Amino acid sequence: MFALSSDRSPNPLHEAANRLAAALDSAVPCEPVRELIPVHDLDSAYQVQDRVIAQLEIGTRRVGRKIGLTSKAVQKQLGVDQPDCGVLLASMAFCDQEEVPTSRLLQPRVEAEVAFVLEHDLDVPSPTLADVIRATAYVLPAIEVVDSRVKDWNISIVDTVADNASSGVFVLGGSPVRVDQVDLRLCGMSMERDGVPVSTGCGAACLGNPLNAVVWLARHAVTIGRPLRAGEILLSGALGPMVPVRAGATYNARISGIGSVSASFSQD
């Protein structure tokens, strides 16, 4: 059960956070929260995200961040010129081939990504690509299960930011690769559902290179006073189109030069 905020003041940001928390608690998607947040006011949307995460992280811990909206086409669709980000919790993490309970998700979709694991903090002002490469211990193949608490995925930029960047759960593969051993821009991705191809892409689909996405996140994190820390897991963004989840199905993603990862979903 997720605890709703006890704050009863007529604050629209409190109301937005409580609406999203209620959707999580009831497993019933809610109406969009954008009428409660000024149009394109990302600062307010991130404040709502903070309130939601404060409720979610009770009994678990933060383990990393995720980057969303790394496709230029999706940014244009939502009327923004930058990615967004959310928080990863230990309770969201699944191992390769571990069954994911479909019942804990509302409207899940899967996408293949490159996950970065940091060896060093990234707390210098205006981190560069070289800083990111030095700070990275290794990369892993990953499947992110994105999920929206907003009914029918009827989202604007402030809806998805407030909803923790539409995070659900994530699955990490077990084949760590040093970042200097692979050209992430050129790495090809293919995803299958029970052996049937459902999505293809490459590293260049993620802001031109997954490293570029992590540079953006590192700079954003420093700007807001929450720099990336050693040990954090960073999901860098989709390498191809996301695919709706079918209960009982298994999704296998292969990323050239990095390896493969599988996510299986329970039949319930």
Whether residue 41 lies inside any domain: the answer is no
Residue with tokens 């959310």: 86
- Supply the pLDDT for residue 9: 53
Q: Is the pLDDT at 2 greater than 80, yes or no? A: no
3-state SS class at 114:
strand
Whether residue 38 lies inside any domain: the answer is no
Summarised one tens digit per residue, pLDDT across range 218-227 is: 999 999 999 9
Whether residue 16 lies inside any domain: the answer is no
Whether residue 48 lies inside any domain: the answer is no
Does residue 266 contact residue 102 with C-beta atoms inside 8 Å? Answer: yes
DSSP string, 237-254: EESS--EE--TT-EEEEE
- Supply the pLDDT for residue 1: 45
Collect all residues with Cβ–Cβ distance below 8 Å to 176 and sequence separation of at least 6: 117, 137, 138, 139, 140
Whether residue 19 lies inside any domain: the answer is no
57 or 29, which is more confident? 29
- Supply the pLDDT for residue 46: 96
The band of 230, judged by pLDDT with boundaries at 50, 70 and 90, is: very high
Whether residue 30 lies inside any domain: the answer is no
- Supply the pLDDT for residue 247: 97
How far apart CA 221 and CA 73 sit, in angstroms, is 24
Whether residue 52 lies inside any domain: the answer is no
- The predicted model scores a pTM of 0.94
- Supply the pLDDT for residue 75: 78
Cα-based distances in Å from 111 to 34, 171, 188, 241: 25, 10, 14, 7
3-state SS class at 21:
helix
Count up the domains in the chain and report the number: 1
Q: Across the beta sheet with 250-255, what order do the strands follow?
A: 99-100, 259-265, 250-255, 188-193, 196-202
How far apart CA 182 and CA 73 sit, in angstroms, is 26
Q: Is the pLDDT at 125 greater than 50, yes or no? A: yes
Range of the domain at 159: 62-265
Average per-residue pLDDT in the chain?
Answer: 93
Burial of 250 (0-12, 13-18, 19+ CB in 10 A): middle
CATH number for the domain spanning 191: value is 3.90.850.10
Please calculate the CA angle 204-208-213 and round it to the nearest 5 degrees.
115
Q: Is the pLDDT at 73 greater than 90, yes or no? A: no
How far apart CA 91 and CA 169 sit, in angstroms, is 8
For the ranges 57-61, 125-129, 188-192, 205-209, the lowest mean pLDDT is seen at 57-61
For the ranges 8-22, 52-66, 108-122, 213-227, the lowest mean pLDDT is seen at 8-22
Does residue 143 contact residue 171 with C-beta atoms inside 8 Å? Answer: yes
How far apart CA 140 and CA 261 sit, in angstroms, is 9
Whether residue 256 lies inside any domain: the answer is yes
The band of 80, judged by pLDDT with boundaries at 50, 70 and 90, is: confident
8 or 188, which is more confident? 188
Number of Cβ within a 10 Å radius of residue 186: 12
